[in-house]
Structure 1
Protein backbone atom coordinates (compact mmCIF):
# COMPACT_ATOMS: atom_id res chain seq x y z
CA UNK A 1 0.00 0.00 0.00
CA UNK A 2 1.40 3.39 -1.05
CA UNK A 3 0.40 6.31 1.18
CA UNK A 4 0.98 10.00 0.45
CA UNK A 5 1.65 12.11 3.54
CA UNK A 6 1.24 15.80 2.74
CA UNK A 7 3.24 17.82 5.26
CA UNK A 8 5.58 14.92 6.01
CA UNK A 9 8.33 17.10 7.50
CA UNK A 10 6.10 18.48 10.27
CA UNK A 11 5.81 17.21 13.84
CA UNK A 12 2.83 15.00 13.07
CA UNK A 13 3.85 14.18 9.50
CA UNK A 14 7.17 12.75 10.66
CA UNK A 15 5.44 10.52 13.19
CA UNK A 16 2.83 9.40 10.67
CA UNK A 17 5.59 8.35 8.28
CA UNK A 18 7.39 6.40 11.01
CA UNK A 19 4.19 4.63 12.05
CA UNK A 20 3.40 3.73 8.43
CA UNK A 21 6.87 2.55 7.38
CA UNK A 22 7.25 0.51 10.58
CA UNK A 23 4.21 -1.50 9.47
CA UNK A 24 5.57 -2.14 6.00
CA UNK A 25 3.56 0.51 4.15
CA UNK A 26 5.19 2.50 1.39
CA UNK A 27 5.24 6.23 2.02
CA UNK A 28 5.54 9.15 -0.38
CA UNK A 29 6.11 12.60 1.05
CA UNK A 30 4.87 16.02 -0.08
CA UNK A 31 6.46 19.17 1.27
CA UNK A 32 8.35 22.35 0.49
CA UNK A 33 11.84 21.38 1.64
CA UNK A 34 13.34 17.93 1.05
CA UNK A 35 16.31 18.74 3.31
CA UNK A 36 14.01 18.85 6.36
CA UNK A 37 13.19 15.17 5.94
CA UNK A 38 15.11 12.89 8.32
CA UNK A 39 14.62 9.32 7.13
CA UNK A 40 16.18 8.03 10.36
CA UNK A 41 13.06 9.38 12.06
CA UNK A 42 10.47 8.68 9.34
CA UNK A 43 11.78 5.44 7.91
CA UNK A 44 12.86 5.07 4.28
CA UNK A 45 10.25 6.59 1.99
CA UNK A 46 9.35 5.76 -1.60
CA UNK A 47 9.85 9.33 -2.87
CA UNK A 48 9.49 12.99 -1.99
CA UNK A 49 7.62 15.54 -4.09
CA UNK A 50 8.60 19.17 -3.62
CA UNK A 51 5.75 21.69 -3.68
CA UNK A 52 6.64 25.34 -4.11
CA UNK A 53 3.27 26.55 -2.77
CA UNK A 54 0.02 25.02 -1.54
CA UNK A 55 -1.42 25.79 -5.00
CA UNK A 56 1.42 24.08 -6.92
CA UNK A 57 -0.97 21.97 -8.99
CA UNK A 58 1.71 20.08 -11.00
CA UNK A 59 3.34 19.01 -7.73
CA UNK A 60 0.00 17.92 -6.29
CA UNK A 61 -0.78 15.93 -9.44
CA UNK A 62 2.61 14.20 -9.26
CA UNK A 63 2.24 13.48 -5.55
CA UNK A 64 -1.15 11.74 -5.79
CA UNK A 65 -0.37 9.72 -8.92
CA UNK A 66 -0.55 6.01 -8.18
CA UNK A 67 -1.10 6.26 -4.42
CA UNK A 68 -3.69 4.23 -2.55
CA UNK A 69 -4.40 6.77 0.19
CA UNK A 70 -3.70 10.39 1.12
CA UNK A 71 -3.13 11.77 4.62
CA UNK A 72 -3.25 15.55 4.94
CA UNK A 73 -0.93 16.68 7.74
CA UNK A 74 -0.49 20.29 6.71
CA UNK A 75 0.45 22.91 9.28
CA UNK A 76 -2.70 24.32 10.96
CA UNK A 77 -3.03 27.66 9.22
CA UNK A 78 -6.27 29.13 7.89
CA UNK A 79 -5.11 28.99 4.26
CA UNK A 80 -3.84 25.43 4.40
CA UNK A 81 -6.80 24.19 6.47
CA UNK A 82 -9.26 25.20 3.75
CA UNK A 83 -7.72 26.21 0.42
CA UNK A 84 -4.65 24.00 0.57
CA UNK A 85 -6.68 21.13 1.98
CA UNK A 86 -9.30 21.37 -0.76
CA UNK A 87 -6.73 21.60 -3.58
CA UNK A 88 -5.02 18.45 -2.30
CA UNK A 89 -8.37 16.69 -2.00
CA UNK A 90 -9.37 17.62 -5.57
CA UNK A 91 -6.05 16.37 -6.92
CA UNK A 92 -6.56 13.06 -5.12
CA UNK A 93 -10.15 12.90 -6.37
CA UNK A 94 -9.05 13.42 -9.98
CA UNK A 95 -6.46 10.67 -9.57
CA UNK A 96 -9.13 8.24 -8.43
CA UNK A 97 -7.95 8.02 -4.81
CA UNK A 98 -10.85 6.99 -2.59
CA UNK A 99 -9.10 7.01 0.81
CA UNK A 100 -8.45 10.51 2.15
CA UNK A 101 -7.64 11.22 5.79
CA UNK A 102 -8.52 14.84 6.38
CA UNK A 103 -6.57 17.29 8.49
CA UNK A 104 -9.14 17.24 11.26
CA UNK A 105 -7.31 16.22 14.45
CA UNK A 106 -8.87 18.24 17.25
CA UNK A 107 -12.40 18.52 18.61
CA UNK A 108 -15.50 16.94 16.97
CA UNK A 109 -16.60 19.11 14.05
CA UNK A 110 -20.20 17.96 14.36
CA UNK A 111 -20.37 19.48 17.87
CA UNK A 112 -19.07 22.93 16.89
CA UNK A 113 -21.23 25.44 15.01
CA UNK A 114 -19.78 27.57 12.24
CA UNK A 115 -18.67 30.88 13.77
CA UNK A 116 -18.53 29.46 17.30
CA UNK A 117 -14.78 28.88 17.27
CA UNK A 118 -12.89 30.66 14.49
CA UNK A 119 -10.07 28.11 14.21
CA UNK A 120 -12.54 25.36 13.28
CA UNK A 121 -14.50 27.35 10.69
CA UNK A 122 -12.10 26.31 7.91
CA UNK A 123 -12.37 22.63 8.87
CA UNK A 124 -16.17 22.81 8.98
CA UNK A 125 -16.24 24.54 5.60
CA UNK A 126 -13.99 21.86 4.08
CA UNK A 127 -16.12 19.05 5.50
CA UNK A 128 -19.36 20.56 4.21
CA UNK A 129 -17.99 21.43 0.76
CA UNK A 130 -16.67 17.92 0.21
CA UNK A 131 -19.93 16.37 1.43
CA UNK A 132 -21.92 18.45 -1.08
CA UNK A 133 -19.64 18.03 -4.09
CA UNK A 134 -17.82 14.70 -3.99
CA UNK A 135 -18.55 11.00 -3.81
CA UNK A 136 -15.27 10.48 -1.94
CA UNK A 137 -15.88 10.15 1.80
CA UNK A 138 -12.98 11.45 3.86
CA UNK A 139 -11.92 10.17 7.25
CA UNK A 140 -12.09 12.65 10.15
CA UNK A 141 -10.37 12.13 13.50
CA UNK A 142 -11.19 13.75 16.84
CA UNK A 143 -8.37 13.54 19.37
CA UNK A 144 -8.71 16.72 21.44
CA UNK A 145 -5.71 18.97 22.05
CA UNK A 146 -2.24 17.79 21.07
CA UNK A 147 -0.21 17.13 24.23
CA UNK A 148 2.67 19.36 23.11
CA UNK A 149 0.28 22.35 23.15
CA UNK A 150 -1.14 21.76 26.62
CA UNK A 151 1.38 23.80 28.58
CA UNK A 152 1.49 26.84 26.34
CA UNK A 153 -0.52 29.94 25.42
CA UNK A 154 -2.78 27.90 23.10
CA UNK A 155 -3.47 25.21 25.66
CA UNK A 156 -6.45 25.02 28.01
CA UNK A 157 -6.45 28.11 30.17
CA UNK A 158 -3.83 29.84 28.03
CA UNK A 159 -0.81 29.06 30.19
CA UNK A 160 1.36 32.06 31.02
CA UNK A 161 4.85 30.95 32.06
CA UNK A 162 6.58 34.32 31.72
CA UNK A 163 6.40 35.26 35.41
CA UNK A 164 7.82 33.75 38.59
CA UNK A 165 5.01 31.21 38.68
CA UNK A 166 2.87 29.84 35.84
CA UNK A 167 -0.66 31.23 35.64
CA UNK A 168 -3.79 29.58 34.25
CA UNK A 169 -6.81 31.77 33.62
CA UNK A 170 -10.33 30.35 33.49
CA UNK A 171 -13.93 31.52 33.39
CA UNK A 172 -17.05 30.00 34.87
CA UNK A 173 -16.40 26.46 36.14
CA UNK A 174 -13.67 25.87 33.56
CA UNK A 175 -11.31 24.59 36.22
CA UNK A 176 -13.54 21.53 36.72
CA UNK A 177 -14.12 20.59 33.08
CA UNK A 178 -12.19 17.67 31.62
CA UNK A 179 -9.93 18.62 28.69
CA UNK A 180 -9.41 15.84 26.15
CA UNK A 181 -5.83 15.52 24.91
CA UNK A 182 -3.65 13.18 22.88
CA UNK A 183 0.06 12.57 22.51
CA UNK A 184 1.40 12.92 18.96
CA UNK A 185 2.88 9.43 18.77
CA UNK A 186 -0.49 8.00 19.82
CA UNK A 187 -2.25 10.07 17.16
CA UNK A 188 0.12 8.80 14.47
CA UNK A 189 -0.39 5.17 15.45
CA UNK A 190 -4.17 5.55 15.61
CA UNK A 191 -4.20 7.22 12.19
CA UNK A 192 -2.41 4.30 10.57
CA UNK A 193 -4.66 1.85 12.44
CA UNK A 194 -7.70 3.60 11.01
CA UNK A 195 -6.13 3.78 7.55
CA UNK A 196 -5.80 -0.01 7.53
CA UNK A 197 -9.30 -0.70 8.90
CA UNK A 198 -11.77 -2.59 6.74
CA UNK A 199 -14.32 0.23 6.41
CA UNK A 200 -11.75 2.86 5.45
CA UNK A 201 -10.13 0.51 2.95
CA UNK A 202 -13.59 0.09 1.42
CA UNK A 203 -13.85 3.86 0.94
CA UNK A 204 -16.55 4.38 3.57
CA UNK A 205 -14.75 7.24 5.34
CA UNK A 206 -16.15 8.10 8.74
CA UNK A 207 -15.53 9.96 11.98
CA UNK A 208 -13.28 8.39 14.60
CA UNK A 209 -12.81 9.62 18.14
CA UNK A 210 -10.07 8.68 20.61
CA UNK A 211 -7.81 10.31 23.19
CA UNK A 212 -4.70 9.64 25.25
CA UNK A 213 -6.29 11.16 28.35
CA UNK A 214 -8.65 13.71 29.86
CA UNK A 215 -7.67 16.08 32.67
CA UNK A 216 -8.95 19.19 34.43
CA UNK A 217 -6.95 22.41 34.69
CA UNK A 218 -6.32 21.56 38.32
CA UNK A 219 -4.88 18.19 37.31
CA UNK A 220 -2.67 19.83 34.67
CA UNK A 221 -1.45 22.27 37.31
CA UNK A 222 -0.70 19.46 39.76
CA UNK A 223 1.28 17.61 37.10
CA UNK A 224 3.29 20.74 36.28
CA UNK A 225 4.11 21.24 39.96
CA UNK A 226 5.09 17.60 40.39
CA UNK A 227 7.48 17.70 37.43
CA UNK A 228 8.96 21.19 37.80
CA UNK A 229 8.46 22.00 41.46
CA UNK A 230 6.78 25.29 40.49
CA UNK A 231 3.45 26.22 42.04
CA UNK A 232 0.79 27.07 39.46
CA UNK A 233 -1.70 29.86 40.15
CA UNK A 234 -5.24 29.25 38.88
CA UNK A 235 -6.92 32.62 38.34
CA UNK A 236 -10.71 32.89 38.03
CA UNK A 237 -11.43 35.75 35.60
CA UNK A 238 -15.22 35.80 35.80
CA UNK A 239 -18.37 34.16 34.47
CA UNK A 240 -18.96 32.76 30.99
CA UNK A 241 -21.00 35.88 30.29
CA UNK A 242 -17.93 37.98 31.17
CA UNK A 243 -15.85 35.92 28.75
CA UNK A 244 -18.43 36.30 25.98
CA UNK A 245 -18.43 40.07 26.44
CA UNK A 246 -14.63 40.09 26.34
CA UNK A 247 -14.57 38.12 23.08
CA UNK A 248 -17.08 40.41 21.36
CA UNK A 249 -15.25 43.59 22.39
CA UNK A 250 -11.72 42.34 21.66
CA UNK A 251 -9.93 44.13 18.78
CA UNK A 252 -9.60 42.18 15.55
Structure 2
Protein backbone atom coordinates (compact mmCIF):
# COMPACT_ATOMS: atom_id res chain seq x y z
CA UNK A 1 0.00 0.00 0.00
CA UNK A 2 1.34 3.42 -0.95
CA UNK A 3 2.34 5.89 1.75
CA UNK A 4 0.34 9.13 1.39
CA UNK A 5 2.34 12.21 2.35
CA UNK A 6 1.06 15.78 2.40
CA UNK A 7 3.33 18.80 2.03
CA UNK A 8 1.95 22.17 3.13
CA UNK A 9 3.92 24.89 1.38
CA UNK A 10 4.94 22.59 -1.45
CA UNK A 11 5.93 25.42 -3.82
CA UNK A 12 8.65 26.73 -1.50
CA UNK A 13 12.31 25.76 -1.68
CA UNK A 14 12.21 22.93 0.84
CA UNK A 15 8.73 21.82 -0.20
CA UNK A 16 9.82 21.27 -3.80
CA UNK A 17 12.98 19.43 -2.81
CA UNK A 18 11.03 17.20 -0.45
CA UNK A 19 8.45 16.41 -3.14
CA UNK A 20 11.23 15.51 -5.59
CA UNK A 21 12.89 13.24 -3.04
CA UNK A 22 9.62 11.49 -2.14
CA UNK A 23 8.58 10.95 -5.76
CA UNK A 24 11.70 8.89 -6.40
CA UNK A 25 9.89 6.14 -4.48
CA UNK A 26 7.21 4.39 -6.50
CA UNK A 27 5.25 3.40 -3.39
CA UNK A 28 4.75 7.02 -2.30
CA UNK A 29 1.95 9.46 -3.16
CA UNK A 30 2.43 13.19 -2.61
CA UNK A 31 -0.35 15.69 -1.96
CA UNK A 32 0.61 19.36 -2.01
CA UNK A 33 -1.08 22.35 -0.38
CA UNK A 34 -0.40 25.94 -1.43
CA UNK A 35 -2.08 29.23 -2.26
CA UNK A 36 -1.17 29.16 -5.94
CA UNK A 37 -0.65 25.75 -7.60
CA UNK A 38 0.43 27.48 -10.83
CA UNK A 39 3.76 28.18 -9.10
CA UNK A 40 4.46 24.45 -8.92
CA UNK A 41 6.94 23.16 -11.53
CA UNK A 42 5.73 21.00 -14.41
CA UNK A 43 7.74 17.97 -13.25
CA UNK A 44 5.58 18.01 -10.10
CA UNK A 45 2.13 18.76 -11.50
CA UNK A 46 2.57 16.32 -14.38
CA UNK A 47 3.55 13.44 -12.10
CA UNK A 48 0.60 11.05 -11.65
CA UNK A 49 1.76 10.30 -8.10
CA UNK A 50 1.27 13.96 -7.09
CA UNK A 51 -1.89 16.00 -6.59
CA UNK A 52 -2.33 19.64 -5.60
CA UNK A 53 -4.79 21.28 -3.21
CA UNK A 54 -5.29 25.04 -3.21
CA UNK A 55 -6.05 27.07 -0.12
CA UNK A 56 -4.93 29.68 2.36
CA UNK A 57 -2.89 28.85 5.46
CA UNK A 58 -5.90 29.60 7.69
CA UNK A 59 -8.66 28.13 5.50
CA UNK A 60 -9.98 25.45 7.88
CA UNK A 61 -12.27 23.79 5.33
CA UNK A 62 -9.58 23.55 2.65
CA UNK A 63 -7.01 22.28 5.16
CA UNK A 64 -9.34 19.56 6.45
CA UNK A 65 -9.86 18.41 2.85
CA UNK A 66 -6.09 18.48 2.22
CA UNK A 67 -5.09 16.32 5.22
CA UNK A 68 -7.95 13.83 5.04
CA UNK A 69 -6.68 10.28 4.54
CA UNK A 70 -2.97 11.13 4.71
CA UNK A 71 -0.38 9.10 6.63
CA UNK A 72 1.75 12.12 7.51
CA UNK A 73 1.65 15.88 6.95
CA UNK A 74 4.83 17.93 6.58
CA UNK A 75 4.78 21.69 7.10
CA UNK A 76 7.29 23.43 4.85
CA UNK A 77 6.11 26.96 5.65
CA UNK A 78 8.60 29.80 6.03
CA UNK A 79 7.28 33.19 6.98
CA UNK A 80 6.15 35.55 9.73
CA UNK A 81 5.03 34.44 13.21
CA UNK A 82 1.35 34.40 12.21
CA UNK A 83 2.03 31.88 9.45
CA UNK A 84 4.48 29.85 11.52
CA UNK A 85 2.23 29.65 14.60
CA UNK A 86 -1.38 30.08 13.52
CA UNK A 87 -0.80 28.41 10.15
CA UNK A 88 0.75 25.38 11.82
CA UNK A 89 -1.92 25.22 14.52
CA UNK A 90 -4.55 25.08 11.76
CA UNK A 91 -2.72 22.15 10.17
CA UNK A 92 -2.27 20.38 13.50
CA UNK A 93 -5.94 20.83 14.43
CA UNK A 94 -6.95 19.39 11.06
CA UNK A 95 -4.61 16.41 11.52
CA UNK A 96 -6.04 15.82 14.99
CA UNK A 97 -9.61 16.01 13.70
CA UNK A 98 -8.93 13.73 10.73
CA UNK A 99 -6.76 11.27 12.71
CA UNK A 100 -3.63 11.81 10.64
CA UNK A 101 -1.01 9.81 12.61
CA UNK A 102 1.98 12.16 12.32
CA UNK A 103 2.76 15.84 11.76
CA UNK A 104 6.26 17.04 10.81
CA UNK A 105 6.65 20.57 12.15
CA UNK A 106 8.48 23.31 10.26
CA UNK A 107 11.63 23.22 12.40
CA UNK A 108 14.94 22.09 10.81
CA UNK A 109 17.44 24.81 11.74
CA UNK A 110 19.19 24.64 15.13
CA UNK A 111 18.11 22.76 18.24
CA UNK A 112 15.56 25.28 19.49
CA UNK A 113 14.53 22.88 22.27
CA UNK A 114 17.56 24.21 24.19
CA UNK A 115 16.44 27.84 23.88
CA UNK A 116 14.25 29.99 26.08
CA UNK A 117 11.56 32.14 24.52
CA UNK A 118 13.06 35.41 23.32
CA UNK A 119 16.68 34.28 23.07
CA UNK A 120 16.64 33.55 19.33
CA UNK A 121 13.34 35.20 18.48
CA UNK A 122 12.84 33.70 14.96
CA UNK A 123 12.72 30.26 16.61
CA UNK A 124 10.04 31.27 19.15
CA UNK A 125 7.22 30.03 16.87
CA UNK A 126 8.79 26.56 16.84
CA UNK A 127 8.78 26.49 20.64
CA UNK A 128 5.10 27.47 20.72
CA UNK A 129 4.15 24.91 18.06
CA UNK A 130 5.98 22.06 19.77
CA UNK A 131 4.18 22.82 23.03
CA UNK A 132 0.85 22.89 21.18
CA UNK A 133 1.57 19.67 19.33
CA UNK A 134 2.64 17.86 22.50
CA UNK A 135 -0.88 18.37 23.86
CA UNK A 136 -2.58 16.48 21.02
CA UNK A 137 -3.70 12.89 21.36
CA UNK A 138 -4.44 11.65 17.81
CA UNK A 139 -1.41 13.06 16.02
CA UNK A 140 2.24 12.49 16.97
CA UNK A 141 4.70 15.34 16.57
CA UNK A 142 7.86 14.91 14.50
CA UNK A 143 10.67 17.46 14.85
CA UNK A 144 13.62 17.22 12.45
CA UNK A 145 16.69 19.22 13.50
CA UNK A 146 19.56 19.63 10.99
CA UNK A 147 21.84 22.36 12.34
CA UNK A 148 22.07 25.26 9.90
CA UNK A 149 21.35 25.01 6.20
CA UNK A 150 24.63 25.08 4.30
CA UNK A 151 23.28 26.80 1.20
CA UNK A 152 22.81 30.35 2.57
CA UNK A 153 26.00 30.37 4.67
CA UNK A 154 28.13 31.75 1.84
CA UNK A 155 25.53 34.21 0.58
CA UNK A 156 25.48 37.94 1.40
CA UNK A 157 22.96 37.16 4.17
CA UNK A 158 25.73 36.01 6.51
CA UNK A 159 28.70 37.84 4.99
CA UNK A 160 31.07 34.94 5.54
CA UNK A 161 32.37 34.74 1.97
CA UNK A 162 33.55 37.75 -0.04
CA UNK A 163 34.24 36.61 -3.61
CA UNK A 164 35.69 39.99 -4.64
CA UNK A 165 38.62 39.57 -2.23
CA UNK A 166 38.42 35.76 -1.87
CA UNK A 167 38.02 36.16 1.89
CA UNK A 168 36.37 33.75 4.30
CA UNK A 169 35.14 35.45 7.46
CA UNK A 170 34.17 34.01 10.82
CA UNK A 171 33.10 35.00 14.31
CA UNK A 172 35.05 33.57 17.22
CA UNK A 173 38.42 31.86 17.20
CA UNK A 174 37.88 29.69 14.12
CA UNK A 175 37.73 26.56 16.25
CA UNK A 176 33.97 26.85 16.85
CA UNK A 177 31.95 24.06 15.27
CA UNK A 178 29.82 24.74 12.20
CA UNK A 179 26.94 22.23 12.08
CA UNK A 180 25.40 22.14 8.63
CA UNK A 181 23.11 20.22 6.30
CA UNK A 182 22.38 21.14 2.70
CA UNK A 183 18.78 21.79 1.68
CA UNK A 184 18.77 18.72 -0.57
CA UNK A 185 20.24 16.53 2.16
CA UNK A 186 17.64 17.83 4.64
CA UNK A 187 14.90 17.00 2.13
CA UNK A 188 16.25 13.45 1.74
CA UNK A 189 16.40 13.00 5.53
CA UNK A 190 12.85 14.33 5.83
CA UNK A 191 11.62 12.00 3.10
CA UNK A 192 13.17 9.05 4.95
CA UNK A 193 11.49 10.13 8.20
CA UNK A 194 8.14 10.45 6.44
CA UNK A 195 8.43 6.96 4.98
CA UNK A 196 9.37 5.45 8.35
CA UNK A 197 5.97 5.17 10.02
CA UNK A 198 7.57 4.59 13.43
CA UNK A 199 9.65 7.78 13.34
CA UNK A 200 8.35 10.43 15.74
CA UNK A 201 9.55 12.85 18.39
CA UNK A 202 12.78 14.83 18.03
CA UNK A 203 15.19 13.53 15.40
CA UNK A 204 18.67 15.03 15.07
CA UNK A 205 20.01 14.51 11.54
CA UNK A 206 23.13 16.23 10.29
CA UNK A 207 25.22 16.51 7.16
CA UNK A 208 28.47 17.54 8.84
CA UNK A 209 30.02 19.25 11.86
CA UNK A 210 33.45 20.78 11.43
CA UNK A 211 35.27 23.80 12.78
CA UNK A 212 35.64 26.88 10.61
CA UNK A 213 39.36 26.17 10.29
CA UNK A 214 38.65 22.66 9.00
CA UNK A 215 36.06 24.02 6.55
CA UNK A 216 38.58 26.58 5.27
CA UNK A 217 41.00 23.71 4.58
CA UNK A 218 38.30 21.88 2.60
CA UNK A 219 37.55 25.09 0.72
CA UNK A 220 41.20 25.43 -0.33
CA UNK A 221 41.41 21.77 -1.28
CA UNK A 222 38.31 21.83 -3.48
CA UNK A 223 38.76 25.19 -5.20
CA UNK A 224 42.54 25.16 -5.44
CA UNK A 225 42.97 28.59 -3.89
CA UNK A 226 44.12 29.70 -0.46
CA UNK A 227 41.41 32.09 0.73
CA UNK A 228 42.19 34.96 3.01
CA UNK A 229 40.80 34.37 6.50
CA UNK A 230 39.42 37.20 8.57
CA UNK A 231 37.97 37.26 12.06
CA UNK A 232 34.92 39.45 12.53
CA UNK A 233 35.40 39.47 16.31
CA UNK A 234 34.81 37.32 19.36
CA UNK A 235 31.49 35.70 20.15
CA UNK A 236 31.04 38.24 22.94
CA UNK A 237 31.56 41.04 20.44
CA UNK A 238 28.99 39.40 18.16
CA UNK A 239 26.55 39.23 21.08
CA UNK A 240 27.09 42.89 21.92
CA UNK A 241 26.80 43.98 18.28
CA UNK A 242 23.53 42.18 17.54
CA UNK A 243 21.84 43.67 20.62
CA UNK A 244 23.26 47.13 19.93
CA UNK A 245 21.79 47.10 16.43
CA UNK A 246 18.45 45.70 17.53
CA UNK A 247 17.80 47.96 20.53
CA UNK A 248 17.19 51.29 18.73
CA UNK A 249 15.40 49.81 15.68
CA UNK A 250 13.81 46.42 16.43
CA UNK A 251 11.60 46.78 13.34
CA UNK A 252 14.69 46.67 11.09
CA UNK A 253 14.71 42.90 11.31
CA UNK A 254 17.15 42.15 8.52
CA UNK A 255 19.78 44.44 10.03
CA UNK A 256 20.41 42.04 12.90
CA UNK A 257 18.47 38.76 12.49
CA UNK A 258 21.33 36.84 10.86
CA UNK A 259 23.71 38.00 13.59
CA UNK A 260 21.40 36.37 16.14
CA UNK A 261 21.36 33.16 14.12
CA UNK A 262 25.17 33.20 13.85
CA UNK A 263 25.59 33.71 17.59
CA UNK A 264 23.30 30.88 18.69
CA UNK A 265 24.63 28.63 15.93
CA UNK A 266 28.24 29.05 17.04
CA UNK A 267 28.05 29.33 20.83
CA UNK A 268 27.18 25.66 21.32
CA UNK A 269 23.77 26.24 22.87
CA UNK A 270 21.80 24.92 19.89
CA UNK A 271 24.13 22.14 18.72
CA UNK A 272 22.30 19.18 17.19
CA UNK A 273 25.29 16.83 17.58
CA UNK A 274 27.41 15.07 18.36
CA UNK A 275 24.79 12.40 19.22
CA UNK A 276 22.74 11.94 16.05
CA UNK A 277 20.00 9.78 14.56
CA UNK A 278 21.69 9.45 11.15
CA UNK A 279 22.26 5.71 11.59
CA UNK A 280 18.50 5.15 11.63
CA UNK A 281 18.38 6.18 7.97
CA UNK A 282 21.38 4.46 6.33
CA UNK A 283 20.08 5.06 2.81
CA UNK A 284 20.60 8.82 3.22
CA UNK A 285 24.25 9.76 2.71
CA UNK A 286 25.25 12.79 4.81
CA UNK A 287 26.53 15.64 2.65
CA UNK A 288 29.70 17.09 4.20
CA UNK A 289 30.92 20.65 3.89
CA UNK A 290 33.50 19.40 1.39
CA UNK A 291 30.80 17.56 -0.58
CA UNK A 292 28.82 20.79 -0.70
CA UNK A 293 31.80 22.68 -2.14
CA UNK A 294 32.36 19.97 -4.74
CA UNK A 295 28.81 20.33 -6.05
CA UNK A 296 29.02 24.13 -6.31
CA UNK A 297 31.52 26.05 -8.37
CA UNK A 298 33.25 28.99 -6.73
CA UNK A 299 31.08 31.31 -8.79
CA UNK A 300 27.91 29.57 -7.61
CA UNK A 301 28.59 29.79 -3.87
CA UNK A 302 27.01 33.19 -3.21
CA UNK A 303 23.90 32.19 -5.19
CA UNK A 304 23.54 28.63 -3.86
CA UNK A 305 20.52 29.55 -1.74
CA UNK A 306 18.67 31.67 -4.28
CA UNK A 307 19.31 29.13 -7.06
CA UNK A 308 17.64 26.28 -5.16
Contact 1:170 1:234 in 2 (8 A): no
Instruction: Please name the residue that 1:10 is paired with.
Output: 12
Give distance in 1, aligned partners of 2:73 and 2:151.
25
Q: Unpaired segments of 5 or more residues in structure 1?
A: none
TM-score by length of 2: 0.70
* 1:180–1:161 Cα change, 3 Å: same
State how 1:64-213 maps to structure 2 within 5 Å: 64-131=67-134, 133-135=135-137, 136-155=139-158, 158-161=159-162, 163-171=164-172, 173=173, 175-200=174-199, 205-213=200-208
TM-score by length of 1: 0.84
Contact 2:103 2:142 in 1 (8 A): yes
Q: Unpaired segments of 5 or more residues in structure 2?
A: 251-308
Instruction: Please name the residue that 1:48 is paired with.
Output: 52
Pairing 1:27–2:22 present: no
* 1:162–1:83 Cα change, 3 Å: farther
Give distance in 1, aligned partners of 2:143 and 2:29.
22
* Deviation (angstroms), 1:63: 0.9
* Deviation (angstroms), 1:222: 3.9
Contact 2:146 2:186 in 1 (8 A): yes
Find 1:235's aligned residue among 219, 226, 230.
230
* 1:159–1:78 Cα change, 3 Å: farther
Give distance in 2, aligned partners of 1:93 and 1:63.
13
Q: Which runs of at least 4 in structure 1 moved beyond 6 Å after TM superposition? A: none
* 1:244–1:188 Cα change, 3 Å: closer
* Deviation (angstroms), 1:39: 4.5
Spell out, residue by residue over 1:53-92, the C-alpha distance to the aligned partner (whole angstroms, 9 max, x if none): 3222232122112222101111254333222122211122
* 1:150–1:35 Cα change, 3 Å: same
Give distance in 2, aligned partners of 1:220 and 1:154.
19
Number of residue pairs matched by the alignment:
242
Pairing 1:214–2:216 present: no
- SS in structure 2 of the partner of residue 199 of structure 1: coil
Give distance in 1, aligned partners of 2:228 and 2:209.
20
* 1:126–1:229 Cα change, 3 Å: same
* 1:180–1:169 Cα change, 3 Å: closer
* 1:16–1:118 Cα change, 3 Å: same
Instruction: Please name the residue that 2:264 is paired with.
Output: none
Spell out, residue by residue over 1:187-213, the C-alpha distance to the aligned partner (whole angstroms, 9 max, x if none): 22221222232523xxxx211111111
- SS in structure 2 of the partner of residue 49 of structure 1: strand
Contact 2:167 2:230 in 1 (8 A): no
* Deviation (angstroms), 1:123: 0.7
Q: Note the aligned Cα RMSD (angstroms).
A: 2.4
* Deviation (angstroms), 1:146: 1.6
Contact 2:168 2:216 in 1 (8 A): no
